[in-house]
């Protein structure tokens, strides 16, 4: 009797209203199925009353046992449901908190990623702009090299033309003088400078190509980061209230070709580093080009000055030689005139000796007809013979002197011709050096043009 009361109290505490006999002690939920007892024997009261009827009824304790089992099952089910609800609520709260934390962490990671992307995007953009500006400066230097190479054609043509013009000098002025030596030096210097500028121009073209290739690489990296920044910025703005979110189950994986954060940073770092290296190489090359153009232009102008000075000295020598030749020609012409006068005087003197000779010879001839003893070698005869001999000797001396004077005149004429020819040669040389060469050299480019600024 005590046990049923305790069970009744327990059921009452559980909130179950009992109107029947208290249930027996609780049975496990896995109790064996109820046994059915059929009493139909003739010795039983039931059997006597139910003769002829089918009897298959439960016993009272079995009825109570069945009810108790149902009560227990309902109680256990309610208790289990309550526990499940509590666990479900807790799990829901935990999962919501975890999902919120995961989303916040992902959002924070996206924000950090956006900062990293912005940082590298700014670095790449800076490098692109600086490399582009540096490339433009290098292109300017390349254009200076091209202009300098084009400008060198004029000095080369001038020096070549000077040498060709001076080949038209006449002997004996066709000499390998200081001017020719300096002109050959100038030609050699121009050829060496042309080769140097061509090599430097090739280096500049290669560096420009490398700069543009590296700029293109940085631009591609920058473009990828701009696109990625746009994607990640859109992802960072997504929230649970966004209307354009949906399920994408196939994306929950790692791509095999995906880079790691380390390789991602290294890729952009290497691009920036190579851009810096190429920019530095370009700056150094620009400095080299500037120095080369400055030095070569100065060397050319210095050699041009040396050639001009050699021309000036040579022209001065030619002018001096020409003046001396003209002076001696003037003296020679005067001597020729004097010599012609002397020859004329000698001829006249010889002619003047003819009458005295005729007189003396006629006297001797006439006196040779003196008769007999009168044909005497008297003083007159001696004087006449002596006179003829003196006149003959005088005429011979005059004729000899005339011959000498005529030979001297011929020599003077030859000298005059030589002097005139030499003066003509000097005049031609002066014309070539002054009017042809030096006048042409007045068109020599300035240092400003030789340095490629025009």
Q: What's the predicted TM-score (pTM) here?
A: 0.70
> Angle 178-237/60-166 helices, nearest 10 degrees?
170
Domain ranges of the chain: 118-238+264-318, 326-448
445: closest CA among 91, 175, 158? 158
Structure tokens at 117: 């992307």
Asked if 441 and 311 count as a contact pair (C-beta separation under 8 A), the reply is yes
DSSP-assigned states of every residue in 355-366: HHHHHHHHHHHH
Structure tokens at 208: 């420009």
- H, E, C per residue of 259-318: CCHHHHHHHHHHHHHHHHHHHHHHHHHHHHHHHHHHHHHHHHHHHHHHHHHHHHHHHHHH
Q: What is the pLDDT along the chain (454 residues), one digit of tens a residue?
A: 334 444 444 444 444 444 444 444 444 444 444 444 444 444 444 454 554 555 567 898 888 899 999 989 999 999 999 998 998 898 888 988 998 899 899 899 999 999 999 999 999 999 999 999 999 999 999 999 999 999 999 999 999 999 999 999 888 888 888 999 999 999 999 999 999 999 999 999 999 999 999 999 999 999 999 999 999 999 888 888 888 888 878 777 777 778 888 999 999 999 999 999 999 999 999 999 999 999 999 999 999 999 999 999 999 999 999 999 999 999 999 999 999 999 999 999 999 989 988 998 898 899 889 898 888 888 988 998 999 999 999 999 999 999 999 999 999 999 999 999 999 999 999 999 999 999 999 998 888 888 888 7
């Amino acid at each position: 009797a005590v046990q049923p009361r305790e069970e009744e109290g327990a059921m009452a505490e559980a909130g179950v209203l009992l109107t029947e006999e208290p249930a027996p002690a609780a049975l496990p939920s896995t109790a064996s199925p109820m046994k059915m007892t059929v009493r139909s024997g003739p010795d039983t009261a039931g059997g006597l009353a139910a003769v002829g009827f089918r009897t298959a009824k439960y016993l009272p304790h079995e009825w109570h046992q069945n009810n108790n089992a149902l009560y227990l099952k309902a109680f256990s089910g309610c208790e289990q449901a309550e526990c499940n609800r509590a666990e479900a609520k807790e799990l829901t709260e935990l999962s919501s908190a975890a999902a919120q934390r995961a989303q916040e962490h992902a959002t924070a990671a996206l924000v950090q990623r956006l900062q990293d992307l912005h940082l590298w995007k700014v670095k790449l953009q800076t490098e692109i702009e600086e490399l582009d500006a540096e490339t433009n400066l290098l292109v300017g230097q390349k254009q200076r090299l091209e202009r300098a190479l084009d400008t060198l054609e004029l000095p080369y043509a001038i020096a070549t033309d000077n040498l060709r013009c001076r080949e038209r000098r006449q002997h004996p002025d066709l000499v390998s003088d200081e001017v020719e030596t300096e002109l050959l030096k100038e030609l050699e210097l121009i050829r060496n400078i042309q080769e140097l500028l061509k090599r430097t121009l090739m280096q500049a073209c290669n560096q420009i190509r490398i700069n543009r290739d590296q700029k293109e690489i940085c631009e591609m990296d920058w473009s990828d980061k701009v696109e990625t920044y746009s994607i990640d910025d859109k992802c960072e703005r997504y929230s649970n209230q966004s209307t354009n979110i949906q399920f994408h189950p196939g994306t929950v994986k790692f791509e095999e070709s995906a880079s790691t954060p380390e390789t991602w940073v290294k890729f952009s770092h290497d691009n920036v580093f190579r851009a810096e290296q190429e920019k530095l190489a370009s700056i150094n090359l620009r400095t080299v080009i500037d120095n080369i153009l400055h030095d070569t232009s100065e060397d050319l102008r210095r050699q041009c000055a040396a050639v001009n000075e050699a021309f000036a000295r040579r022209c001065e020598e030619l002018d001096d030689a020409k003046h001396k030749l003209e002076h001696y020609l003037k003296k020679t012409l005067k001597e020729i005139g004097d010599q012609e006068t002397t020859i004329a005087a000698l001829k006249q003197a010889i002619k003047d000796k003819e009458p005295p000779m005729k007189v003396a010879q006629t006297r001797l001839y006439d006196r040779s007809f003196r008769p007999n003893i009168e044909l005497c070698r008297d003083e007159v005869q001696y004087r006449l013979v002596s006179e003829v001999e003196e006149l003959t000797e005088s005429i011979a001396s005059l004729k000899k002197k005339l011959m000498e004077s005529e030979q001297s005149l011929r020599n003077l004429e030859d000298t005059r011709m030589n002097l005139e020819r030499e003066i003509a040669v000097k005049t031609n040389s002066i014309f070539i050096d002054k009017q042809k060469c030096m006048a042409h050299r007045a068109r020599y480019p300035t240092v400003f043009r030789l340095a490629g600024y025009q």
